[in-house]
C-alpha cells in the first residue's frame, strides 16, 4: 500500500523489493505447469486466481 510520507522513490523501492520476491516464485509455478491463463483469467493449479496470493513476509 501507499504509506503516508511515501514519495516516488520510497514507493518504487518497496515495490521493487516485492517484485524480487514474487518473480522467482511465479516463474517456478509457470515452469511447473501450475500457472496458466484461460479466457482472460489467471489460473493457479487449474483454479481461477480470485484474490492475491500471500507469499508471507521475509
Reported as a single tens digit per residue, the pLDDT across 32-52 is 999 999 999 999 999 999 998
Q: Are 35 and 42 spatial neighbours (Cβ–Cβ below 8 Å)?
A: yes
Overall pTM surpassing 0.75 (yes/no):
no
Stretch 7-34: mean pLDDT? 95
pLDDT at 57: 57
Q: What is the distance in angstroms between the CA of the first residue and the CA of the last residue of the chain?
A: 17
SS3 43: strand
Amino acid at each position: 500500500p501507499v504509506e503516508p510520507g511515501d514519495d516516488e522513490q520510497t514507493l518504487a523501492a518497496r515495490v521493487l523489493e516485492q517484485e524480487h520476491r514474487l518473480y522467482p516464485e511465479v516463474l517456478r509455478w509457470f515452469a511447473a505447469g501450475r500457472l496458466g491463463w484461460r479466457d482472460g483469467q489467471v489460473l493457479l493449479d487449474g483454479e481461477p486466481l480470485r484474490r492475491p496470493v500471500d507469499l508471507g513476509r521475509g
